[in-house]
Structure 1
Amino acid sequence: MTTRQSSAIAVTGLRKSFGDQVVLDGLDLTVRRGTVFSLLGANGAGKTTTVKILSTLLSADAGEVQVAGHDLAREPDAVRAAIGVTGQFSAVDNLLTGEENLLLMADLHHLARGEGRRRAAQLLEQFDLVEASRKPASTYSGGMRRRLDLAMTLVGSPQVIFLDEPTTGLDPRSRRNMWQIIRDLVAGGVTIFLTTQYLEEADELADRIAVLDHGRVVAEGTAEELKRRIPGGHVRLRFAAPQGLDAAMGLLGQASRDNDALALRVPSDGSLRSLKTLIDRLDDRAIEVDELSVHTPDLDDVFLALTGDSTNEKVTTR
């Protein structure tokens, strides 16, 4: 099985410009089936444009794309049948009840009346909206509207779901509830393509993260892989007595010393291999360490190091 065949999304050389402004400049992405893939970037980096192209809402200038095994250019209808899209702004109709919104989506997907009602009831239960199902959507809280919006996306049982900044504006509790829903969907075999400005969200959910800057992927990997690429990681060793601190300093050399705390800060990439090497060196000299902690750069550090801050467009950790 080729990589493209085993992937939910495969993108090669994707390009898009609006007039003289280049938005996507040769984008390459591969998303494995049944995973969460997060596209991380500041406002204007090209995240929403990418989602619009991959979901057939916008045409590309160049490039090859396959979504759910279908060629985007030659089989757009097949792609649409296999995907769901939840955008930055809710598609919920405020004049309809939660149940009516779901039944409307069932009609749009040409489900039989009985099948549509069963599907709506199932989704209302799954998204904890049964009690509010007969109330107008205009009375829903932000978190409830987001859950209903995602439930509407699921009426057609999509293989791939594009979530474009799905928790923007939600309070912390509602955001974490949405995270759990996303995890449950992936556990059921759905592939999630997530764009977000929330670094914590990408760190929490994504199997792989791509950092987008000026229309190009400047780094890709797991959250931990990306963090290890950035200088600043270290191991902090604290000792019970000055003699242990002195012995470790003599052994390790490049460490930074804190006499008041009886601690050393040793540069490290945070990997298991480097940590084992450090511990073995200390053990060989019978140097006793009272406390050891590993510190790695977070996604804030990754983002700023990879994209700079020239546009003052930042992602947020809250």
Structure 2
Amino acid sequence: MPFPPDNRHKVAVLVLDGVVPLDLGIPAQVFGTARDDAGRRHYAVRTCTPDGGPVRCAGGFSVLPDYGPEILAGADTVVVPGISTENAALFAGGALTDAERAALAVAARAPRLMSICTAAFALAAMGVLDGRPATTHWLHAARFRALFPRVLLDPDVLFVDDGDVLTSAGVAAGLDLCLHVVRRDFGAEVANRAARRCVVQPWRDGGQSQFIERPVPTAAGGATSAAREWARRRLDEPIDLDAMARAARMSVRTFTRRFREETGLSPSQWLLAERVEHARLLLETTDLGVDAVARRAGFGTAVSLRSHLHRTVGVSPAAYRRAFRANGHVTR
């Protein structure tokens, strides 16, 4: 029996030719680690190919999942991992095998359909994304838009949740999407626990456009790490650049240069991001009023918190709390 006869949410991962290895592993890893307080799994994950045979990976090796397309009809969610750029181009041109086309047609009828990275090309080739918002890897956005003008492409976001059809940006954004789905299905506490098991952030601010020009941060330690820890312990207090530089035992000029080298951000940008993240945590996990959250996160006033939170995640503190409380569920 492909799926166990219990009430776990059934996830089928449909592997297409040229699958990206990292993308392939993400759904099983994230959904497989989503568990309740007693350690019971919330999802049953099964992986299949369109014809039940092996597929060639973009990494230069083949994989043979345990199942064929027969499992797709019984799935609550179908996930299509990313494919090589060469295969994405072929799929965009309609070069799908009969088995691939048939499998994707069944997948499109699932209660929920997800794509990671360039798998959006396969979904778009089937017409699934026509008239709907979607995303894919920013590097292929121009080509995608030219090939599928009826899709409402947004290349600046990490993922798009359009209810029953969800798409993600490149590679690691598949982690963001799957964790978002766990949060949507079972709440923030389960998603956060799954993220910790996967050793990733439960939520990343911003969109994928930040990765185009932003310098890559160096090691997490570094010369300014002590100042960062010093500031994290005092988020509810006024913190200025001079104080952070003193905590690092550097001049302001040297500290600012080293800080940007190590984090990719200016000290003020980093401090604001830390305060927003702390405010989000307080909104998720406490019953503190918005004014108290603002003070504890270092924003001073609820007005300031509302402004910064809306600019960062696009919602007010009250809306964020309704959507992401640990005992609640994400709503559209």
Name the larger-Rg structure. 1
Instruction: Decide: shared fold, TM above 0.5.
Output: no
Give TM-score, length-normalised by structure 2: 0.29
More helix by share: 2
Which structure is higher in RCO with an 8 Å CA cutoff and minimum separation 6?
Answer: 1
Give TM-score, length-normalised by structure 1: 0.30
